[in-house]
Amino acid sequence: MESTLVKKEYSDKVIKPKNLYIESYGCAMNFADSEVVASILTQNGYATTNVEEDADVILINTCSIRDNAEQRIKHRLIHLRANKKRNNELVIGILGCMAERLKKNLLEDEKLVDIVAGPDSYRDLPKLLDELEDGHKAINVILSLEETYAEISPIRLNSNGVTAFVSIMRGCDNMCSFCVVPFTRGRERSRSAESIINEVKELSVLGYKEVTLLGQNVDSYLWFGGGPKKEFNKLSIEEQEQSINFAKLLEMVALIDPNMRIRFSTSHPKDITDDVLFTMAKYVNICKYVHLPAQSGSSRVLELMNRNYSREWYMGKVNRIREIMPNCGISCDIISGFCTETEADHAETLSLIELSQFDFSYMYKYSERPGTMAARKFADDVSEDDKGKRLQEIIQIQNSVSKQKNAARVGKVLRVLIEGYSKKSEDDLKGRCDENMVVVFPKENYKAGQYVDVVIERSSTTTLVGRALNLVLTL
């Protein structure tokens, strides 16, 4: 969005607002948070810009889930500090999980940034910027038990005008032993159902065709009365009937606009219920796709990870999803080389991928994160060579499964929501089908925001290629 002038009258002067540039890394929650930050600062006289060189304030919204993510951001901050040579009034700030984890280290020890703000302190950013002008240290990393930014209408940064994220909850209570999220984003708290519904309605009016409901664990969403309640089994029967769980919320959102697609992420395998699956099956506009992180195929390793399910239980959940929705797309997260993982454990992960037939997976080497249960209790005793070798084997088998599954879609007709041009050519358009596969086809007279039926003519490991048959006016 282009920077615009905001007029403030001081006698006869017109003061130009400061330009804000935001860069986001990591999960979808970070990108959604950046849109909240843009809204807060715009309401306080800032103007957003897409041009880094035009910025007076540069904010980097960060990810802390793996060490290589943090190192990448540190290198980016070192580069940005060099910009101060051209503009010594430039303010550089770090937001999000890395800000929460490293706190004063970035501000005082490494002197890479001027402002540090954790995920629950974005309302405080205008004050922090004012404090910086007064020569004070600018830091707020206090975690909240209540903050959800519920009433803030996000500014859609770099939007395609077709798809949007809607945050429904914050934080995580699961305490997986490898994960830093509970320490950087705090405890779970759900956003009011009313505020979520209002945001989706607004997006529908603006012409958006797809929303993704976001949370670290969307299936544990629960809203009761005037506030969030986490422990459903401690509510009375009357209170349970009046509460809104994720299945109910999903239905409420689906009913807003039958021609708007609904997606959600992420699901914890232990929490996704039959009620959610039956709701997905009931409504045409709820996409038949579930991201279901397994992390490992070994029950022994899963117990060390504190995932609260076994290999057999996970496989049962995959089978249940396909029993209720036979063509549902399923993706996964896999970690190679977790503490004490043996070749036998690794072999079980490979077999889980093959048996589950994931459409695609996000696959990583284990990266020990300071402060987590795993860092405190277990030795990071799998060598980097073994982690890398096992990761390559995981990638190889997943790519084989993905290639076979995509090849089986050749000849089928899939309904696609057009999101924009293909990365490779503006002669082609791209979009995603219901099951979340990327589909590319010649643009002809079609445009972003339309639904089209596409016959698939060829495929690769990651992409389906075809030609549009006809425009679809309603789902």
Per-residue pLDDT tens digits of the chain, which is 475 residues long: 333 333 334 334 445 689 999 999 989 999 999 999 999 999 999 999 999 989 999 999 998 888 888 888 988 988 888 888 788 889 999 999 998 888 777 777 667 899 999 999 999 999 999 988 877 779 999 999 899 999 999 999 989 999 999 999 999 999 999 999 999 999 999 999 999 999 999 999 999 999 999 999 999 999 986 555 556 666 667 766 778 999 999 999 999 999 999 999 999 999 999 999 999 999 999 999 999 999 999 999 999 999 999 999 999 999 999 999 999 999 999 999 999 999 999 999 999 999 999 999 999 999 999 999 999 999 999 999 999 999 999 999 999 999 999 999 999 999 999 999 999 999 999 999 999 999 999 999 999 999 999 999 999 999 999 999 999 999 9
pTM (2 d.p.): 0.92
Look-up: residue for tokens 């798809």?
163
- Rounded Cα–Cα distance for residues 183 and 76 (Å): 24
In this structure, CATH architecture of domain 9-140: 3-Layer(aba) Sandwich (3.40)
In this structure, CATH architecture of domain 163-407: Alpha-Beta Horseshoe (3.80)
Which of 429, 336, 371 has the alpha carbon at shortest distance from 103?
A: 371
Contact between residue 63 and residue 26 where contact means Cβ atoms under 8 Å apart: yes
- Rounded Cα–Cα distance for residues 299 and 278 (Å): 28
Query: At residue 299, what is the residue type?
Result: S
SS3 at position 228:
strand
- Rounded Cα–Cα distance for residues 280 and 283 (Å): 6
Domain boundaries, the chain: 9-140, 163-407, 413-472
Q: Report residue 271 as tokens.
A: 């929490």
Query: At residue 186, what is the residue type?
Result: G
> Which residues, in sequence order, are CB contacts of 386 under 8 Å at separation 6+?
337
- Fold classification of 413-472 is OB fold (Dihydrolipoamide Acetyltransferase, E2P) (2.40.50)
346: left (phi over 0), alpha (psi -120 to 50) or beta: alpha
Bridge partners, 468 (sequence order): 454
Q: Report residue 461 as tokens.
A: 């490991």
